[in-house]
Amino acid sequence: MPALTNVENSAVYAAPKRRKAGLILDIRKNKLLYVMLLPVILFYILFHYTPMYGAIIAFKDFSPRLGIMGSDWAGLEHFKTFFTGAYFGRTIKNTLLISFYQLLFGFPAPIILALLLNEVKHSLFKRTVQTITYMPHFISLVVICGIIKDFTSSEGVINDLIVWLGGTRMTFLLEPGLFRPVYVISGIWQNIGWGTIIYLAALTGIDMEQYEAARIDGAGRWKQLTNITIPGIMPTIVILLILEVGRMMNVGFEKIILLYNPSTYETADVVSSYVYRVGLQDFNYSFSSAVGLFNSVVNFTLLIFSNWMSRKLNDTSLW
């Protein structure tokens, strides 16, 4: 390899100095913005990065009396126990199926609602619909699950409607085959309004002159939707889709635990609820940490893969 000249050497060493000087200048210029960012940085350091030290117990036979470093090493024993255990196939299958249904039906729902609201010209009606659809997101999850249980009970309003239509009563949350539909549909109802906020914001960034030019050319509402509106928000859709794929193994255990029961474990038990039962109820901290670490690695792999695929297909990606 040929030696660098003095000029090239100076350029190599000057580049980091220029970047450092530029960063310092940017901090001085936007110091208030950096101060506002500081709580977010501290939050992630304290609650996301610092706890990563505790992942060591996945490779140990952790004992609270001995502490993390004092506990005996177990290597990959807990991972092997999980992979060969009776619940491995069931929890992985249920987690992936529920996540897939949420992605298939739940992800497009706020996009469709945002597109419909974008076509509404009556501002009062539009604001009313937005407010009504936002409200469930701000209700406590415990209250939400209580509402779901009341509505789907044998004497609930849904069964009243079924009987009125000629059907028979049933307790939805006691039927293994109905747990996933109840979970996904209730999730759509709870989050559809909140999800529209990002898409409505993206819609406001589309140049209105494009619509005027399309109308002059004779394009109707459908042509404007497919050729201007959807392509205009497509980068936002792709970014959120990548993030959603990266969370496929993170089916929220709180809602699962509040809704499931032993009769629906077959279709409702997911990785996160299994970790909760093993870790907090059976006090097997090392085994539950191993399962949680496996879950995080799978999520990370899915995120990297979906980002790579997106960059290859449409040049839109997180990085």
For residue 169, the tally of other CB atoms under 10 A from its CB is 13
The pLDDT score that the predictor gives to residue 247 is 85
The pLDDT score that the predictor gives to residue 146 is 92
Closest by Cα among 172, 150, 157 to 267? 172
Residue 302: both structure tokens together: 């899915």
Torsion of CA 267, 269, 271, 276, to 10 degrees: 170
Residue 164: both structure tokens together: 């009125």
Cα 85–88–93 angle (5° rounding)? 160
The whole-angstrom separation of Cα 10 and Cα 128 is 63
The pLDDT score that the predictor gives to residue 6 is 52
Residue-by-residue pLDDT tens, the chain, 319 positions? 455 555 445 544 555 666 767 778 888 888 888 888 899 999 989 888 888 888 888 898 888 888 888 888 888 888 998 888 888 889 999 999 999 999 999 999 999 999 999 888 888 898 899 899 989 999 889 999 999 999 988 888 888 898 998 888 888 888 888 999 999 999 999 999 998 999 999 998 888 888 888 888 888 888 888 888 998 999 899 989 988 888 888 887 788 988 988 888 889 889 888 888 887 777 888 888 888 888 888 888 988 988 888 888 877 777 7
pTM of the predicted model, to two decimals? 0.81
* Residue that the structure tokens 């701000």 belong to: 138
SS (H, E, C) the chain: CCCCCHHHHHHHHHHHHHHHHHHHHHHHHCHHHHHHHHHHHHHHHHHHHHHHHHHHHHHEECCCCCHHHHCEECCCHHHHHHHCCCCHHHHHHHHHHHHHHHHHHHCHHHHHHHHHHHHCCCHHHHHHHHHHHHHHHHCCHHHHHHHHHHHHCCCCHHHHHHHHCCCCCCCHHHCHHHHHHHHHHHHHHHHHHHHHHHHHHHHHCCCHHHHHHHHHCCCCHHHHHHHHHHHHHHHHHHHHHHHHHCCCCCCCHHHHHHHCCHHHHHHHCCHHHHHHHHHHHCCCHHHHHHHHHHHHHHHHHHHHHHHHHHHHHHCCCCC
The pLDDT score that the predictor gives to residue 100 is 92
The whole-angstrom separation of Cα 175 and Cα 261 is 10
The pLDDT score that the predictor gives to residue 274 is 86
The pLDDT score that the predictor gives to residue 214 is 87
The whole-angstrom separation of Cα 5 and Cα 8 is 5
The pLDDT score that the predictor gives to residue 16 is 63
The pLDDT score that the predictor gives to residue 12 is 46
The pLDDT score that the predictor gives to residue 147 is 92
